[in-house]
Amino acid sequence: MSAATTRSRTPDRLCAEAVDLARAAAEEAAAPGVVGEHVALVSEGDRVVTHFFECRELGYRGWRWAVTVARASRAKVVTVDEAVLLPGPDALLAPEWVPWSERLRPGDLGPGDLLPTQADDLRLEPGYTGEDEPPPNSAVAPSHDLEERVEEEDAELTGRAPAGTGDDGRGAIAAVADELGMRRARVLSRYGLHIAADRWDESFGAKTPMAQAAPAQCVTCGFLVPIAGSLRQAFGVCANEFSPADGRVVSLAYGCGGHSEAAVMPKPPVPAPPVHDTVATDEFPLRPAPDSGSVTAETDTASEDLGHS
Ligand code: SF4
């Protein structure tokens, strides 16, 4: 039978009744006045009981003073085992501690800060340093032809530089490695490339709202500056100062309203011809012309009508 099954589930009566003893122990351990109501008791085993008291200390909401009391077999005296402050089920707890290396977030690095990388950082892998190249005269070194050897021996004797210095295989490989940017202690691993690509694609990729509403993609934009390396197949750098991605690595499938070709500039509006000509002059004579008889005739008729009435 296991030890757990031999434990008594029913609290020992004398231990359960020792509330005052437990309270006194809690008050001795706590600051004055912070031990509150007796809230629960738990049987820890045969003749071992823990009493819980509410903690009234500010900043420890939901915590409880736990005082464990016990008595020996066939003894009537109950004694205190320990008194500790424990979090209750709804206690206010500090967040779980996180190591500093996992706490850092992008943008946390400030001027003067150092962020060392681990030797086994998965994002990096050994680069080409040239140290693996065999020495020039070793048995596994690339063989020189006879003429080059004669030239080198001649140069040793005369003190002249041999013809073709620096053009041997090792120098050429190092030069190419330099050019490709590989001659570093460590370079990005495949994993490092993948997580960088995912990160960039999330910020400036085809699924962003800006790209969805763009008239065309970065791949056809004149503001896109190509980058080197394998990531050039999917990314470039935006160099449009009015774009939200200026100076950022963008996916070739990204796009914005500042695309060099897709945005059509509206033509300046041509004003409609004026309905009322306010520039030309109109003639308004004060009197009718002398040779016009119609107005005089009308006036005479009107005078006759007034005379008859
Ligand atoms: S201006 Fe817009 S479309 Fe052109 S490269 Fe920059 S983000 Fe892409």
Taking the CA of residue 288 as centre, how many other CA atoms within 13 Å lie in the half-sphere pointing to its CB? 10
pLDDT reported for residue 125: 87
pTM: 0.49
Token pair 């001027």 is at which residue? 111
- CA separation for the pair 47, 36 (Å, rounded): 25
DSSP string, 158-195: H-PPPTTTT-SHHHHHHHHHHHTT--SSEEE-HHHHHH
Q: In whole angstroms, what is the distance from residue 42 CA to residue 86 CA? A: 14
| Atom 8, ligand 1: residue with shortest CA distance | 218
Residue of the CA atom closest to atom 2 of ligand 1: 256
For residue 232, what pLDDT is reported? 93
Query: At residue 245, does pLDDT exceed 90?
Result: yes
Question: What is the average pLDDT across 277-281?
Answer: 76
Q: Is the predicted pLDDT of residue 133 greater than 70, yes or no?
A: no
Q: Is 179 within 8 Å of 229 (Cβ atoms)? A: no
Listed range (85-94, 218-227, 272-281) with the worst mean pLDDT: 272-281
Name which residue leads in pLDDT, 185 or 165: 185
Q: How confident is the model at residue 194 (pLDDT cuts 50, 70, 90)?
A: very high
For the cut 60, the answer to whether the pLDDT of residue 83 exceeds it is: yes
Q: How do residues 5-58 score in pLDDT, each as one tens digit?
A: 445 578 999 999 999 999 999 999 998 889 999 999 999 999 999 999 999 988
Atom of ligand 1 nearest to the CA of 222: 4
pLDDT at 301 over 60: no
Structure tokens at 99: 């190591």
Cα(247)–Cα(237) distance, integer angstroms: 6
Reading the block at residue 223, the tokens are 């503001």
**Mean local confidence (pLDDT), 105-120:** 80
Q: What share of the chain is helix, strand, coil (3-state, %, to 5)?
A: 30, 15, 55
Q: Which of 200, 237, 238, 252 to mutate to test the pocket of ligand 1 (most atoms within 8 A of CB)?
A: 238
Count Cβ atoms within 10 A of the Cβ of residue 208 and give its class: 0-12 exposed, 13-18 middle, 19 or more buried: buried
pLDDT bin (cut points 50, 70, 90) of residue 304 is: very low
Confidence of residue 159 (pLDDT cuts 50, 70, 90): low
Q: What 3-state DSSP class applies to 36?
A: strand
Query: Which residue, judged by its Cα, is nearest atom 6 of ligand 1?
Result: 238
- Which whole number is the average pLDDT over 227-253? 94
pLDDT at 2 over 80: no
pLDDT of residue 234: 95
Determine the pLDDT at residue 267: 77
Question: Amino acid letter at 128?
Answer: Y
CA 255–ligand 1 middle distance (angstroms): 5
Question: How far away, in angstroms, is 195 Cα from ligand 1 center?
Answer: 23
3-state class (DSSP) for residue 19: helix
1: pLDDT strictly greater than 80: no
Nearest by Cα to 61 from 39, 42, 89, 83 = 89
How confident is the model at residue 244, as a pLDDT? Answer: 92
Q: Report whether pLDDT(86) > 90.
A: yes
Angle at 197 between CA 192 and CA 198, to 5 degrees: 100
pLDDT score, position 297: 46
> What is the SS3 string spanning 126-156?
ECCCCCCCCCCCCCCCCCCCHHHHHHHHHHH
Residues framing ligand 1 (Cβ under 6 A): 218, 221, 223-224, 238, 240, 243, 245, 250, 254-256, 258-259
